[in-house]
Amino acid sequence: MAVDTIEGYVPCNLFIIKLIFRCDKMELATDALDYDFVLVDQQIDHKNDGPAYSEEIVQSLTPGCCIIIKGKIRSECKRFAINFLSVRGAKTDVVFHFNPRLALRYIVRNARINNSWGDEETTSVEKFHIQRNETFELQFVTAEREFLVALDGRHVCAFVYRIPLERINKIEVVGIIVEAVDVIRNLKSYPSVDGAIDVEGVEHKQVSNYPPGPTSFTVPLGGGDAAQRIGDQELIVPVTATLPKGFQVGWQLEISGRIKILPAAFYVNLQVGDKLWPHPVIPLHLNPRFYTSYGNHLFVRNSWENGSWGAEERTAGFQFTPGRKFHLAIRKHPDHFAVWVDGTLTGEFLFRTEVDDIDTVYIHGDIHVFNIYMRDHVEDKYFTKSKERIDSL
């Protein structure tokens, strides 16, 4: 599973397709399902069943529209598909094939070009939440370079376009009964904060369970050993945390948590704003990657500015251990960030863009987060203290 920040930027608006489904009950094992599976190398063929919903798109999909589709899953359903098609005469390409496999609890994404399927994508930054006999909501967001997909208001994955978005001229849904389709245009941002669709030029329209942004926590600020917990319970990942007074020189942001048993990656963003779109400026992106194709762990550092990612800074190896607690500290110096893991300096990152506007910490991936805290003054002797004290924060 490769967890990285969203490789896409939309300078204007957004297009969303929303589906609400119901599944029949099915007993499934839930142990060890925090990761994804790559078990199937074939796409399902729905030619015999025919699509449950099929409609041509008269007006091309462009950023700034919202299509809402309501439906439910048939009782015998083991998998279903939402296909975004490009139909040109006798030729049909599948621009985006979204295929949840209920029995195996993972979601396949792919595209079919010239009758050939490409490489499947099955990674996700969320557990598989689709359950039978439970109503849920699925949202597709089309940005400039990719689809963004959310389940129950939580972003789970992205799919970079392999065929230009404007070629989509038909949508089909297979394996469910579609009940209603609604269209709203001129969306300003995604996800919304309070569940309202945020649009320009028209009155806001409330839609049930429209994906609200994750609950934002305010990071406590203090000094010395006065660290406080945000709450009594583990924070729900993804975590969006607000820095009410920003991030000043000499301050140190501290995050305590535990790595999942079978991690692929996680990331911590220091960014401006709490939206997925428009893409926020990210002065610092920390992305530990476990068991990469390079043969070892990588600690990646980067930034997002001017609509794209910069050059990655990579360090082989890190102190993060699957199943173990960790303490991550990010200290702001006049011209760089210093990154410490369990009291050991693991890397530095020179500023590439304006850093005074940082107001949000966004954390996602294969970790449990226990606490986030900002220290407004730090003594170097802090890093010589025992790991037992660090774990107690």
pLDDT in tens, 318-359: 889 999 999 999 999 999 999 999 999 999 999 999 999 999
Query: Whose structure tokens read 């999942």?
Result: 260
Say yes or no: 379 and 321 in one domain.
yes
- In a shared domain, residues 224 and 202: no
Q: Are residues 325 and 272 in the same domain?
A: yes
CA gap 144, 19 in Å, rounded: 21
b/e code 238-249 from CB counts within 10 Å (16+ = b): bbbbebeeebee
Do 21 and 130 fall within a single domain? yes
9 within domain boundaries: no
Residues 243 and 362 in one domain: yes
Which residue, of 160, 179, 206, is where some domain finishes?
206
Tens-digit pLDDT profile for residues 205-263? 333 334 455 556 789 987 655 455 544 568 888 899 999 999 999 999 999 999 999 89
Tell me how many degrees the CA angle 283-288-290 measures, rounded to the nearest 5: 160
CATH number at residue 225: 2.60.120.200
Residues 284 and 350 in one domain: yes
Q: For residue 186, give every residue at least 6 positions away whose Cβ sits within 8 Å of its Cβ, in sequence order, or none.
A: 13, 64, 65, 199, 200, 201, 202
- In this structure, what token pair is assigned to residue 35? 């990761």
Stated pTM of the model? 0.72
Whether residue 60 lies inside any domain: the answer is yes
Are 117 and 23 in the same domain?
Answer: yes
Using a pLDDT cut of 70, give the percent of the chain over it: 70
- The answer on 380 and 233 residing in a single domain is yes
Q: Taking a C-beta distance cutoff of 8 angstroms, is the pair 75, 83 a contact?
A: no
Count structural domains, the chain.
Answer: 2
In a domain, 364, yes or no: yes
Whether residues 109 and 197 fall in one domain: yes
Residue bearing the bigger pLDDT, 5 or 275? 275
- Tell me, yes or no, whether 211 lies in a domain: no
Question: According to the model, what pLDDT value does residue 156 have?
Answer: 80
Per-residue pLDDT band at 363 (split at 50, 70, 90):
very high
Q: Do 69 and 182 lie in a common domain?
A: yes
Pick the last residue of a domain from 184, 206, 228: 206
Helix then strand then coil, in percent of the chain rounded to 5, is 5, 45, 50
> 237 and 297: one domain?
yes
pLDDT given for residue 7 in this prediction? 38
**DSSP calls for 304-345:** EETTEE---EEEE--S--TT-EEEEEEEE-SSEEEEEETTEE
Classify residue 3: in a domain, yes or no: no
Vertex 203, ends 201 and 205: CA angle to 5°?
125
Same domain for 263 and 346?
Answer: yes
Residue 3 confidence (pLDDT): 40
271, part of any domain: yes
Instruction: Evaluate whether residue 2 is within a structural domain.
Output: no
Q: How many CB atoms within 10 Å of residue 297?
A: 19
Query: In terms of residue numbers, what domain contains 318?
Result: 216-391
- Among 173, 206, 239, the domain-final residue is 206
Structural domain includes residue 6: no
Please answer whether residues 98 and 178 qualify as being in contact, where contact means their C-beta atoms are separated by less than 8 angstroms. no
